[in-house]
């Protein structure tokens, strides 16, 4: 028995050492599990502490969330309300515009040059000044032309005196010829001499007129009314009649012209109006085609179509009393060709297109939308004229259509100025203030291709 105990003790001791070594990893894992469980408890406590106040503030949130997910027996779309922006259709007229790109062109542009040679002794204009026809611009030294005038006048006086003497001799020769003292040849020679002096007197008079004309040309005046540019020659320089640069450039700004082009497909409508004597209105807009600069009239059209571009040119005239248009300025031109009457007008953003054609989302009295097929008669700027489908006063969705389908519930907001007087508080809960003055989400930009029929 003692032998057995002595043999078992080492084995039992050995087993005890093995169990102690195995317990060390178990203790480490036990602390890890404690930390994990503690973290889970803290997370649950934090979640419940945050969620409970929000549920107390909005008790219907869980129910609404349940309905939004469709619930156990209902449809999700049946109770979910989509916020949208709406506007009311109205009755009115829409203009038909042809839009083109144009360039402002001065009616007259003159490079003022000297018509005589001489020294420029005076410049009478200011750069950028508006001058009238006949105003003095510059002065060339007139003294050489005054000397020429005096010489021509002196020569005229001399030739007039010689003619007077020759004419007196001619009268004496006539008496002598009657008495037979002198021959016919001498009389004819004296008569020819008088004629020569007559010619010399006419030549002298032309020299006088030419000298006076040079004196007139020494005063350089404005040939047209307009705005002068930068001075090209300074006072004190010698100018010549054949100078190419000139002294200054005058540009006529009132009235002013705008040249623009339109596609050849639009030519028949324009030319029909012109042949009927209709005066077509033209509007000029800035480069962004958003701000109206001036209004004018169509003057004429070109006599041929450009085969390289398939367009034809038109010329319009503007009074430009405020000098808003400037030569070589780029503008967008809107030509008013016609006006369509009594259309139902809706914002362009309300129009949708699908397999069934062109349609809008019509909002009913119960805030339920319905797909309504429409017929588009005209699109111009941000408005669409309808010839059928909806009537004036009908409320249509203009923003948020991507979340809608036929029969969807909506929470409409009427845009400012959207004819929302009758239904200003549409979609608002009882006792809520009207939202008819809400600003639209975004303002549509002007359409570049406005005015085209569909």
| Residue 304 in this model has a pLDDT that exceeds 80 | yes
For residues 51-68, give the mean pLDDT: 42
| String of DSSP letters for 211-249 | HHHHHHHTEEE-SS-EEE---SS-TT-EE-TT-SS-SEE
Q: Rounded to an integer, what distance in angstroms lies between the CA atom of residue 325 and that of residue 106?
A: 10
Q: How far is CA 388 from CA 360, 369, 372, 398, 447, in A?
A: 12, 18, 10, 18, 23
pTM (2 d.p.): 0.60
Region of poorest pLDDT, from 118-122, 133-137, 179-183, 313-317:
179-183
Residue with the two structure tokens 């540019």: 229
pLDDT digits (tens, 9 = 90+) for 424-442: 333 333 333 333 333 333 3
| Residue 269 in this model has a pLDDT that exceeds 50 | yes
81-93+342-453: what CATH class? mainly beta
φ, ψ for residue 405 (rounded to 5)?
A: -145, 170
Delimit the domains of the chain by residue range: 1-48, 81-93+342-453
Q: Rounded to an integer, what distance in angstroms lies between the CA atom of residue 89 and that of residue 81?
A: 23
Q: Rounded to an integer, what distance in angstroms lies between the CA atom of residue 253 and that of residue 227?
A: 7
* CA proximity to 397, closest of 349, 434, 343: 349
What pLDDT is attached to residue 38? 83
């Amino acid at each position: 028995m003692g032998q057995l105990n002595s043999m078992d003790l080492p084995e039992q001791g050995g087993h005890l050492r093995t169990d102690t070594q195995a317990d060390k990893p178990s203790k480490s894992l036990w602390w890890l599990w404690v930390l994990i469980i503690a973290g889970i408890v803290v997370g649950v406590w934090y979640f419940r502490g945050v969620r409970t106040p929000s549920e107390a503030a909005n008790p219907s949130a869980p129910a609404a969330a349940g309905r939004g997910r469709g619930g156990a027996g209902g449809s999700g779309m049946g109770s979910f309300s989509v916020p949208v922006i709406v506007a009311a259709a109205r009755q009115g007229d829409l203009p038909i515009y042809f839009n083109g790109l144009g360039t402002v062109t001065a009616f007259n542009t003159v490079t003022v040059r000297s018509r005589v040679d001489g020294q420029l002794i005076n410049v009478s204009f200011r750069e950028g000044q508006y001058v009238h026809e006949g105003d003095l611009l510059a002065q060339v030294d007139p003294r050489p032309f005054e000397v020429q005038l005096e010489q021509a006048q002196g020569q005229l006086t001399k030739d007039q005196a010689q003619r007077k003497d020759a004419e007196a001799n001619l009268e004496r020769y006539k008496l002598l010829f009657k008495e037979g003292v002198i021959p016919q040849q001498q009389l004819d020679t004296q008569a020819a001499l008088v004629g020569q002096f007559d010619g010399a007197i006419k030549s002298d008079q032309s020299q006088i007129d030419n000298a006076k004309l040079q004196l007139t040309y020494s005063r350089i005046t404005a040939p047209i009314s307009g705005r002068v540019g930068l001075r090209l020659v300074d006072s004190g320089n010698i100018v010549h009649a054949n100078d190419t640069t000139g002294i200054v450039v005058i540009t006529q700004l009132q009235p002013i012209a705008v040249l623009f082009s339109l596609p050849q497909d639009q030519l028949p409508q324009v030319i029909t109006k012109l042949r009927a004597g209709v005066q077509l209105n033209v509007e000029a807009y800035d480069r962004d085609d958003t701000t109206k600069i001036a209004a004018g009239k169509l003057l004429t059209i070109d006599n041929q179509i450009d085969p390289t571009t398939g367009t034809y040119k038109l010329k319009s005239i503007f009074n430009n009393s405020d000098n808003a248009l400037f030569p070589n300025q780029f503008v967008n031109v809107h030509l008013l060709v016609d006006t369509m009457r009594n259309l139902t007008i809706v914002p362009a953003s309300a129009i949708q297109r699908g397999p069934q054609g062109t349609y809008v989302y019509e909002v009913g009295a119960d805030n339920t939308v319905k797909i309504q097929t429409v017929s588009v008669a005209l699109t111009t700027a941000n408005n669409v004229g309808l010839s059928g489908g909806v009537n004036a006063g009908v409320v249509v969705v203009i923003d948020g259509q991507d979340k809608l389908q036929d029969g969807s519930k909506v929470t409409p907001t009427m845009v400012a100025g959207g004819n929302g007087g009758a239904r200003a508080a549409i979609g608002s809960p009882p006792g809520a203030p009207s939202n008819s003055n809400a600003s639209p989400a975004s303002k549509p930009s002007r359409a570049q291709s406005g005015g085209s029929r569909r």
